């Protein structure tokens, strides 16, 4: 989501006459786009501001903080760092150029934490996209779930869905530009609920999101991925839509956070272990093999050794393709910040490592099972390890490396998997175009 926001910010700024430069030293304006999901990310911002200022002594520049930390901390950023000129909240990206102008004209402490304008542009210029082959498309912003640990509803506000016709139009123009893969993104993509039907007419489905999936599949974009899904809103019709449309990729990211009902309740997730496992059963019983990934928080306040055992057993049972593990980080203003933080830092680290170990064993089995199979891979770029190799992702979102030259970049290729590592696969091209 932050990458997508940066792409939009760069698009708007370039349209206003700004240009991106290669280093922060030579820049007249430096903007830090920030994340506040965990405390560590938040702290890094202030270290970076100090580094930027000291690296550019003598060169007068505007330094701004945008994104989630800006939205949450507001005015207090100016107190914490007297060298910041600009604070730009999560819904003010479209107003960046005029805010920068005010700061450059000499106004001190320029701040905008206001709501998005109704006619805000979602345009992203292809020059600013992070890849010439893959594009991120936000379909929903914000969050209404209020999980007790999570800062997102406060930093990004309530859920707002973009009309389906705008999403479909964007995909059509990306396809004309030669993009091969899009990712529908949002904090909870499957909570998608636009105010208007436009663009969904003629597409049946049990939820607006599964209708959207069918509408975007009909564009013919070769590969469509979506992330993140929220378990409570994960309707089986999503799997039915994937089964009926090959260009909807075979990967679901469904964060569980914990395997213990007691912890899930205190997290206010709105799902139990068995609700979650029911959704997993539908995913696993699909006639397509769907890759499954998740997020887990270890060391949530009050998490006992027994609760943690239940997380371990759930992770083993689900046999995830990949797992993102987070140590609980207290976020000021969230309900969990008032809970007694009973799990020490060293216990959090122990649990993190134990879970990582369990996942590694299970993941090695998952990855080895790909040996001998042919995957459809989008060749994204030269591998950083070897000049004669290319790297890309499969439709099941595995990193796949294979021998090939740059003329194949941007092509979708069939790759026969010959070797599996813990987090990546290696193979050979079996025909040049999938």
Residues that bind ligand SAM (CB under 6 A): 37-38, 147, 149-150, 152, 187-188, 228, 230, 255, 257, 295, 297, 326, 328-329, 331
Q: Three-class SS of residue 223?
A: strand
Residue closer to ligand SAM by CB (options 149, 209) is: 149
Residue closer to ligand SAM by CB (options 174, 298) is: 298
Q: Three-class SS of residue 252?
A: strand
Residue closer to ligand SAM by CB (options 40, 360) is: 40
Residue closer to ligand SAM by CB (options 27, 66) is: 66
Measured CA to CA, the distance from residue 69 to residue 75 in angstroms comes to 11
β-sheet bridge partners, residue 98: none
Residue closer to ligand SAM by CB (options 11, 148) is: 148
How far is CA 253 from each of CA 51, 221, 282, 320, rounded to the nearest angstrom?
A: 36, 20, 14, 10
For residue 355, the minimal CB distance to ligand SAM (Å) is 12
For residue 187, the minimal CB distance to ligand SAM (Å) is 4
In Å, how far from its chain's centre is CA 373? Answer: 28
For residue 323, the minimal CB distance to ligand SAM (Å) is 10
Residue closer to ligand SAM by CB (options 63, 343) is: 343
For residue 226, the minimal CB distance to ligand SAM (Å) is 13
Residue closer to ligand SAM by CB (options 85, 141) is: 141
DSSP assignments along 37-100, one per residue? SSHHHHHHHHHHHHHHHHHTTTS--EEEEEEHHHHHHTTHHHHH-TT--EEE-TT-GGGHHHHH
Measured CA to CA, the distance from residue 422 to residue 183 in angstroms comes to 24
DSSP assignments along 363-417, one per residue? HHHHHHTTTT-EEEEEEEEE-SS-TTEEEEEETT--EEEEE--GGGTT-EEEEEE
Residue 403, both tokens: 């021998």
Backbone angles phi, psi at 91, to 5 degrees: -110, 15
For residue 230, the minimal CB distance to ligand SAM (Å) is 5
For residue 339, the minimal CB distance to ligand SAM (Å) is 12
Q: Residue 203 is inside which H or E element, if any?
A: none
Backbone angles phi, psi at 292, to 5 degrees: -130, 130
Residue closer to ligand SAM by CB (options 64, 186) is: 186
For residue 268, the minimal CB distance to ligand SAM (Å) is 11
Residue closer to ligand SAM by CB (options 295, 409) is: 295
Asked whether the beta carbons of 434 and 402 are under 8 A apart, the reply is no
Residue closer to ligand SAM by CB (options 11, 363) is: 363
Q: Are strands 374-382 and 322-327 parallel, antiparallel or unpaired?
A: unpaired
For residue 67, the minimal CB distance to ligand SAM (Å) is 12
Residue closer to ligand SAM by CB (options 12, 153) is: 153
Using the structure block, give the residue that is written with the tokens 């013919």: 220
For residue 147, the minimal CB distance to ligand SAM (Å) is 6
For residue 252, the minimal CB distance to ligand SAM (Å) is 12
Asked whether the beta carbons of 55 and 25 are under 8 A apart, the reply is yes
Backbone angles phi, psi at 263, to 5 degrees: -70, -45
Measured CA to CA, the distance from residue 268 to residue 211 in angstroms comes to 28
Asked whether the beta carbons of 396 and 364 are under 8 A apart, the reply is no
Q: Three-class SS of residue 419?
A: strand
For residue 24, the minimal CB distance to ligand SAM (Å) is 26
In Å, how far from its chain's centre is CA 176? Answer: 25
């Amino acid at each position: 989501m932050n990458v997508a926001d940066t792409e939009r910010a760069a698009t708007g700024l370039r349209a206003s006459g700004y240009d991106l430069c290669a280093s922060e030293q030579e820049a007249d304006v430096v903007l830090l786009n920030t994340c506040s999901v965990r405390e560590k990310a938040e702290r890094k911002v202030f270290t970076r501001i100090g580094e930027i200022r000291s690296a550019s002594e003598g060169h007068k520049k505007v330094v701004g903080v945008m994104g989630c930390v800006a939205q949450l901390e507001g005015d207090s950023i100016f107190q914490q760092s007297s060298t910041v000129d600009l604070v730009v909240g999560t819904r003010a990206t479209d107003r960046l150029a005029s805010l920068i102008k005010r700061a450059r004209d000499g106004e001190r402490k320029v701040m905008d934490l206001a709501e998005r304008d109704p006619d805000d542009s979602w345009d992203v210029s292809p020059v600013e996209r992070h890849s010439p082959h893959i594009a991120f498309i936000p379909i929903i912003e914000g969050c209404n779930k209020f999980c007790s640990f999570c800062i997102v509803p406060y930093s990004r506000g309530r859920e707002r869905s973009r009309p389906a016709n705008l999403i479909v139009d964007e995909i059509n123009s990306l396809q004309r530009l030669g993009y091969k893969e899009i990712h529908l993104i949002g904090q909870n993509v499957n909570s998608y609920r636009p105010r208007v039907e436009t663009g969904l007419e003629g597409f049946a489905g049990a939820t607006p999101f599964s209708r959207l999936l069918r509408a975007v599949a009909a564009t013919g974009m070769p590969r469509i991925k979506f992330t993140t899904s929220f378990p409570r809103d994960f309707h089986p019709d999503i799997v039915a839509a994937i089964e009926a449309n090959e260009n909807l990729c075979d990967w679901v990211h469904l964060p569980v956070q914990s395997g213990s009902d007691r912890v899930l309740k205190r997290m206010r997730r709105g799902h139990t272990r068995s609700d979650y496992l029911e959704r997993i059963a539908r995913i696993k019983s699909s006639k397509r093999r769907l890759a499954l990934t998740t997020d887990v928080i270890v060391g949530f306040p009050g998490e006992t050794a027994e609760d943690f055992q239940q997380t371990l057993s759930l992770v083993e049972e689900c046999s995830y393709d990949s797992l993102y593990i987070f140590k609980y980080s207290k976020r000021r203003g969230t309900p969990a910040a008032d809970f007694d933080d009973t799990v020490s830092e060293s216990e959090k680290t122990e649990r993190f490592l134990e879970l990582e170990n369990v996942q590694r064993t299970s993941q090695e089995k998952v990855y080895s099972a790909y040996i001998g199979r042919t995957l459809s891979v989008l060749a994204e770029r030269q591998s950083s390890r070897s000049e004669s190799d290319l790297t890309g992702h499969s439709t099941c979102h595995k990193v796949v490396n294979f021998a090939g030259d740059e003329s194949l970049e941007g092509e979708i290729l069939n790759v026969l998997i010959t070797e599996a590592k813990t987090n990546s696969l290696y193979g050979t091209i079996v025909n040049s175009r999938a």
